[in-house]
Amino acid sequence: MELLCCSRSIRPLFIILFCFSSALLQSSLVAAKARHFKWDVEYMFWSPDCKESVVMGINGQFPGPTIRAKAGDIIVVELTNKLPTEGVVIHWHGIRQFGTPWADGTAAISQCAINPGETFVYRFMVDKPGTYFYHGHYGMQRSAGLYGSLIVDVADGQKEPFHYDGEFSLLLSDWWHQSIHEQEVGLSSIPFRWIGEPQSLLINGRGQYNCSVAAHYSSSTSTQCDLEGKRQCTPDVLHVRPNKTYRLRIASTTALSSLSLAIGNHKMVVVEADGNYVQPFAVDDMDIYSGESYSVLITTDQNPSSNYWVSVSVRGRLPKTPQGLTLLNYLPNSASKLPTSPPPVAPLWNDYDHSKSFTYKILALQGSPKPPTSPTRRIYFLNTQNKVNGYTKWSINNVSLSLPATPYLGSIKFGMKGAFNSQVPPEKFSESYDVMRPPTNPNSTTGSGVYMFAMNSVVDVILQNANILTVNVSEIHPWHLHGHDFWVLGYGDGKFTEKDVSKFNLKNPPLRNTAVIFPYGWTALRFVADNPGVWAFHCHIEPHLHMGMGVIFAEGVERVRKIPNEALACGLTGKLMMNNYRP
């Protein structure tokens, strides 16, 4: 590793970053604090929104336990699968897994799913302070409730570039009463059955389906929820003192919904996005897409005799789901004292200008790492809705991702044939494609090919949105990259052209791991392929990924060492390893 780092002279910044991370990991394995967790994943009855459902929990909790660590720590999670018949994995969203690509927790990509009754040990370093989360990454198990928060504080002796007196986590999700098993069958049926809109929005796993926190202000006949009960759905009230500054760590693990967050009467100052500091800016409401995380600062400078709304609403789709609500409780007021006015009204669901305005404000904090000035390679990903043998799918450049039975990390490392489509998928699409209309030929194909990058190459990805199968509809997709952060160089409307390159922001583009494409628009990303491993890059909407909306990236797999055997005990890698066995 040392040799690798020091023998290269190009792109010194990234090399330094890479060496730094590697060195940290190596030293950490000896010196850093290891934080141990023993988790059992199991199904349980739970009432996230006051209506009982079967929920995937960890150690009897929903959401799962919060991991809290300091930058440089080693996290060790011994994960035991207590599900009756299903495999399971957990992905540590936003953690780049330098040197531990087998711990990325993506079934069929970084490892085999953990079988029922078996234990897999995730061991990885959290190298960068920030707001993260974890979640299932097999089938639609994230939608079943398999998620929790992962908070990394600055290392001892380090400081955040902003001050706050206290903090809260707001892990946001959406919830369906239909089981994920039934959802999965519907998505893979002819005729296609869409999962529909969620029944409720959850804040820290708590929502209200058959009562409303704001019934008092509603013209409907819904009943007022109890704000101080001890039910599983009782809102998680934020208790604050007047005239203090609080950090809200916000993360969205929604299956589908784009959200708008607002706190009545309070400005929010955005300071962090996806574990990277941003140039602070104040807003009244903010958009959060699935897979994103933010930190915002609020100052409790409002009338202290009142409480205030914390409100979450659906954006980007015609909302059919009630607002998710809790309270900002100014102590010593009673936590059940309702605010004096109704909850904030979210911007119109399809006011995309409002969304873009927010997104465009997110820029890197001064002093953040800057992108290389030019890419080694630029690839173009057209996002389309298609049909494959009558099934409704999402495709990238006309290929809908179908994961193989053998994890890529093993099959690429061992140079195996036949584990996945050997053909490299297309890296651009037809220049004549009309993104403003449904595809003229909706038929697409499934595939499992891999985009292979030269180690340390600089990759530009242009995500191009388009019209879906229905006329005059183009949807929002938040794309999430594993194993890396990327710089978001720019956004645009309509079809990307080479002229748009000149408008790329190379001065202070934000580093993210998730970026949205707006309807009919494009988004340009740049990242350095500096992390040996195999990495998913996909729409973070759970049913969209299930329908094939993703691609597989790989780089430097030949440098990956010490993959635990148990990560590869399935499929062809399992066969290969066992064929050496002579009893």
User: Among 203, 133, 209, which Cα is nearest to 177's?
Assistant: 209
| Between 95 and 568, CB nearer to its own copies | 568
| Between 81 and 514, CB nearer to its own copies | 81
| Binding to its own copies in span 128-157, by CB under 8 A | 138-141
Site string for its own copies, 95-134 (x = CB under 8 A): -------------x---xx-xxxx----------------
Which stretch of DSSP H or E encloses residue 69?
A: strand 67-70
- Least distance from C-beta 51 to its own copies, angstroms? 14
Q: How far is CA 556 from CA 4, 36, 280, 513, in A?
A: 11, 30, 36, 20
Q: How far apart are CA 254 and CA 316, in angstroms?
A: 13
Between CA 335 and CA 272, with CA 243 as vertex, the angle to 5 degrees is: 90
| Binding to its own copies in span 471-500, by CB under 8 A | none
Q: How far is CA 538 from CA 400, 456, 515, 553, in A?
A: 11, 21, 10, 10
| Between 220 and 580, CB nearer to its own copies | 580
Q: How far apart are CA 76 and CA 74, in angstroms?
A: 6
| Between 15 and 569, CB nearer to its own copies | 569
Taking CB under 8 A as the rule, does residue 207 contact its own copies? Answer: no
Q: How far apart are CA 98 and CA 68, in angstroms?
A: 19
Residues whose CB is less than 8 angstroms from the CB of residue 581 and which lie 6 or more positions away in sequence, other chains included: none
Q: How far apart are CA 202 and CA 220, in angstroms?
A: 21
Taking CB under 8 A as the rule, does residue 316 contact its own copies? Answer: no
> Which position among 35, 37, 186, 452 is part of the footprint of its own copies (CB under 8 A)?
186
CB 474 within 8 A of CB 519: yes
- Least distance from C-beta 567 to its own copies, angstroms? 10
| Between 533 and 571, CB nearer to its own copies | 571
- Least distance from C-beta 424 to its own copies, angstroms? 22
- Least distance from C-beta 137 to its own copies, angstroms? 11
Taking CB under 8 A as the rule, does residue 43 contact its own copies? Answer: yes
Strand pairing partners for 582?
none
Between CA 448 and CA 458, with CA 453 as vertex, the angle to 5 degrees is: 135
Phi, psi of 31 (to 5 degrees): -105, -30
Helix, strand, or coil (residue 79)? strand
Helix, strand, or coil (residue 181)? helix
The DSSP code sequence of 105-116 is --BTTTBPPBPT
Q: How far apart are CA 402 and CA 408, in angstroms?
A: 12
- Least distance from C-beta 206 to its own copies, angstroms? 20
- Which region, judged by CB under 8 A, interacts with its own copies, from 122-130, 182-190, 451-459, 526-534? 182-190
| Between 153 and 566, CB nearer to its own copies | 566
- Least distance from C-beta 389 to its own copies, angstroms? 13
| Between 230 and 581, CB nearer to its own copies | 581
| Between 227 and 563, CB nearer to its own copies | 563
- Which region, judged by CB under 8 A, interacts with its own copies, from 7-15, 84-92, 269-277, 342-350? 84-92
Site string for its own copies, 521-560 (x = CB under 8 A): -------------------------x--------------
Residues whose CB is less than 8 angstroms from the CB of residue 369 and which lie 6 or more positions away in sequence, other chains included: 13, 17, 511
Neighbours of 470 (CB within 10 A): 10
| Between 89 and 516, CB nearer to its own copies | 89
> Which position among 195, 248, 261, 569 is part of the footprint of its own copies (CB under 8 A)?
569
Neighbours of 134 (CB within 10 A): 29
- Least distance from C-beta 394 to its own copies, angstroms? 16
| Between 43 and 433, CB nearer to its own copies | 43
User: Among 145, 233, 211, 209, which Cα is nearest to 183's?
Assistant: 145
Neighbours of 321 (CB within 10 A): 21
> Which position among 1, 54, 155, 416 is part of the footprint of its own copies (CB under 8 A)?
54
- Least distance from C-beta 117 to its own copies, angstroms? 3
| Binding to its own copies in span 406-465, by CB under 8 A | 413-414
- Least distance from C-beta 96 to its own copies, angstroms? 25
- Least distance from C-beta 119 to its own copies, angstroms? 9
> Which position among 7, 221, 432, 580 is part of the footprint of its own copies (CB under 8 A)?
580
| Binding to its own copies in span 354-413, by CB under 8 A | 403-405, 413
Q: How far is CA 291 from CA 171, 250, 497, in A?
A: 11, 11, 28
Strand ranges in 300-433 using DSSP code E only, listed in sequence order: 308-315, 324-330, 377-388, 391-396, 399-401
Phi, psi of 303 (to 5 degrees): -50, 115
Return the structure tokens found at 127. Answer: 């190298």
First to last CA, the chain: 37
Helical spans, DSSP H, in 432-473: none
- Least distance from C-beta 89 to its own copies, angstroms? 10
- Which region, judged by CB under 8 A, interacts with its own copies, from 232-240, 487-495, 533-541, 573-581? 573-581
> Which position among 64, 72, 87, 447 is part of the footprint of its own copies (CB under 8 A)?
87
> Which position among 33, 38, 181, 241 is part of the footprint of its own copies (CB under 8 A)?
181
Helical spans, DSSP H, in 501-541: none
| Between 127 and 542, CB nearer to its own copies | 542
- Least distance from C-beta 425 to its own copies, angstroms? 19
Site size toward its own copies (CB under 8 A) is 50
- Which region, judged by CB under 8 A, interacts with its own copies, from 371-379, 427-435, 525-533, 563-571? 563-571
Q: Residues in the site for its own copies, rule: CB under 8 A?
A: 43-45, 54, 84-88, 108, 112-113, 115-118, 138-141, 179, 181-182, 184-186, 188-189, 403-405, 413-414, 546, 565-566, 568-571, 574-583
